[in-house]
Structure 1
Amino acid sequence: MSTAHHLAPPDGAEQLSLVTPAPWSTGDPYSDALRTGRGPLFLRRTDGWLLPLDVERWCAAADAVDLKVLGRCEGAVLDIGCGPGRLVAALAAQGQRALGIDVSEAAVARAARLGGQALCRSVFEPVPAEGRWDTALLMDGNLGIGGDPRALLDRLSQLLAPGGLLIAETAPVDVDERFSVQVVHHTGARDAAGAPFPWARLGTLALLRHAAHAGWHTVSQWTAGGRCFAALRSRRTSSSAEPPKSTAVISSQRARNRSPQSPVTDR
């Protein structure tokens, strides 16, 4: 099944209609939790280990820790695994160009209701303005996407402009692991579970180790509100991207004295 999503670009540019897959069914535990804004929701490994998912915080407005992270963003921001959209909505409210992508239709719909721009899209599928994003966000454990951190970092280097910034939230413990998980609504009596998928979990040291091998430069690392973060910069210094075409998708501010009106277009 496919669904057409209409991304309304800023500055009166032509509207772009994108047809994207609906990989998560409307009745899966994650979608149901996003619709209600409540858990309890967990990632469950095959050995039964449970990782709590903070659905209530994700469905609330961006908090003080989130806003400090957003204050570090440069130019046009791509929020990967945007979930219900609190970050893209906060960026939009600040007048900053931002796009969220998520494989959950329920997440994208909620992000749009909050006023953020979002597409139902995997990071490993074509993304608007590839190679021209100034900042990429991987928050709320989204370093785990795909279960292969090196592949994810390589993909982000393709999405970001040369020298682009990645801000990632890491696990609050020193861990570097990969496993298969299911999203489950766990009540102790009866569980509702989604389909299994690969996932990874990285602490800050593990991220920095993988990033160094993948050609990233560490900018900073910090903790706030019991959460851990790292900022990395792509070492890619040149791009083979074609000149922008006429259909504007999102605006970008490249280099240090960025202009909020400079267009970035879809290829």
Structure 2
Amino acid sequence: MRTREATAAPWAAADPYATALRAGRGPLFLRRADGWLLPLEVERWCARADRADLEVLDRCEGTVLDVGCGPGRLAAELAARGRTALGIDVSEAAVEQTVRLGGRALRRSVFEPLPGEGRWGTVLLMDGNVGIGGDPRALLDRAARLLSPGGLLIAETLPVDVDERAEVQVVDATEAHGGTGEPFPWARLGTPALSRYADRAGWAAVDQWAAGGRRFVALRSRSASSRAEAPKSTAVISSQRARKPSAGSPVAER
């Protein structure tokens, strides 16, 4: 099995991401191999939880695991509410920012061993983190193993019907025409695509809604009696994330 350092390396080594988080602003992009740029919403991630975020947090049940927590606006808001919550992120800068805001966070990949496995009440995949690892089915299977039986998954999806997998790099404006970081797998999913993957994996649809120009899906995990055996070959993905394309359409490279 790969070490945590090896698993996290593609994203954690993306210095433009750490720089942007510490500055609280972009521009920052995921650059696909074909040259398209996916804008990352750094300013929103570094701000306080907005109305759409708060609506998601109001729906959370029990203890909350925020996968790919970024600079920690959600983990910090949950902590301020007195909720038991943990953010995980492969970026040291993200974990530092989360703790600075008052949230709890670990530098960890979702595909590595985590505290409370099988006992979390809610798992969050916000800000496009449903694309982590570039394999939606593997990520859904992992989320099911993190949750308690019948636990809740809330995922943010794209506002268009898309099901895409790609190799991407994190780049800033100066690197937009050729990033130097190691490429990593990423997926982009609209609500219909995520619903198809979830249905095949045995998840129960709970709700879907829009807020603040963003789209969300809530799913209920399988019961303990119907939970499938954990897959062996996909237990470790090459990065926790390839993280966070915005909810908007890609911007073509000029």
Q: Distance in 1 between the 2:51 and 2:96 partners?
A: 24
Which ranges in structure 1 are unaligned for 5 or more consecutive residues? 1-18, 241-267
Task: Say if 2:206 is the partner of 1:216.
Answer: no
Task: Say if 2:30 is the partner of 1:43.
Answer: yes
Could you tell me which residue of structure 2 aligns to residue 180 of structure 1? 167
Could you tell me which residue of structure 1 aligns to residue 90 of structure 2? 103
The C-alpha deviation readout for 1:171-223, integer Å capped at 9, x for no partner, is: 11100010100011024887654321000000000000000001100000000
Alpha-carbon distance, 1:235 to partner: 1.5
Q: Distance in 1 between the 2:14 and 2:59 partners?
A: 36
The aligned length equals 222
Alpha-carbon distance, 1:30 to partner: 0.6
Q: Structure 1 residues 189 and 153 mapped into 2: Cα distance closer, same or farther (>3 Å)?
A: closer
Normalising by structure 2, we get a TM-score of: 0.83
Q: Larger % of strand: which? A: 1
Could you tell me which residue of structure 2 aligns to residue 65 of structure 1? 52
Computed over aligned residues only, the root mean square deviation of the Cα atoms, in angstroms, reads 2.0
Matched-pair contact (CA < 8 Å) for 2:62–2:122: yes
Matched-pair contact (CA < 8 Å) for 1:221–1:229: yes
Alpha-carbon distance, 1:28 to partner: 1.1
Could you tell me which residue of structure 1 aligns to residue 139 of structure 2? 152
Normalising by structure 1, we get a TM-score of: 0.79
Q: Structure 1 residues 193 and 85 mapped into 2: Cα distance closer, same or farther (>3 Å)?
A: farther
Matched-pair contact (CA < 8 Å) for 2:29–2:176: no
The C-alpha deviation readout for 1:13-57, integer Å capped at 9, x for no partner, is: xxxxxx963635566111111111110001110000111100000
Q: Give the alignment partner of residue 21 of structure 2, picking from 28, 34, 37.
A: 34
Q: Give the alignment partner of residue 192 of structure 2, picking from 193, 205, 210.
A: 205
Letter in 1 for 2:199: A
Alpha-carbon distance, 1:83 to partner: 0.4
Alpha-carbon distance, 1:238 to partner: 4.4
Q: Give the alignment partner of residue 132 of structure 1, picking from 106, 112, 119.
A: 119
Tell me the secondary structure at the aligned position of residue 59 of structure 2.
coil
Q: Larger radius of gyration, structure 1 or 2?
A: 1
Q: Distance in 2 between the 1:228 and 1:152 partners?
A: 19
Alpha-carbon distance, 1:237 to partner: 2.7
Matched-pair contact (CA < 8 Å) for 1:204–1:230: yes
Matched-pair contact (CA < 8 Å) for 2:4–2:109: no
Tell me the secondary structure at the aligned position of residue 230 of structure 1.
strand
Q: Give the alignment partner of residue 129 of structure 2, picking from 117, 139, 142.
A: 142
* 21-30 or 90-99: bigger deviation: 21-30
Q: Distance in 1 between the 2:173 and 2:40 partners?
A: 11
Task: Provide the identity percentage.
Answer: 71
The C-alpha deviation readout for 1:220-259, integer Å capped at 9, x for no partner, is: 000011100000000223499xxxxxxxxxxxxxxxxxxx
Q: Structure 1 residues 40 and 149 mapped into 2: Cα distance closer, same or farther (>3 Å)?
A: same
Q: Distance in 2 between the 1:175 and 1:103 partners?
A: 26
Matched-pair contact (CA < 8 Å) for 1:74–1:134: yes
Matched-pair contact (CA < 8 Å) for 1:88–1:111: yes
Q: Distance in 2 between the 1:176 and 1:189 partners?
A: 24
Which ranges in structure 2 are unaligned for 5 or more consecutive residues? 228-254
Matched-pair contact (CA < 8 Å) for 1:186–1:192: no
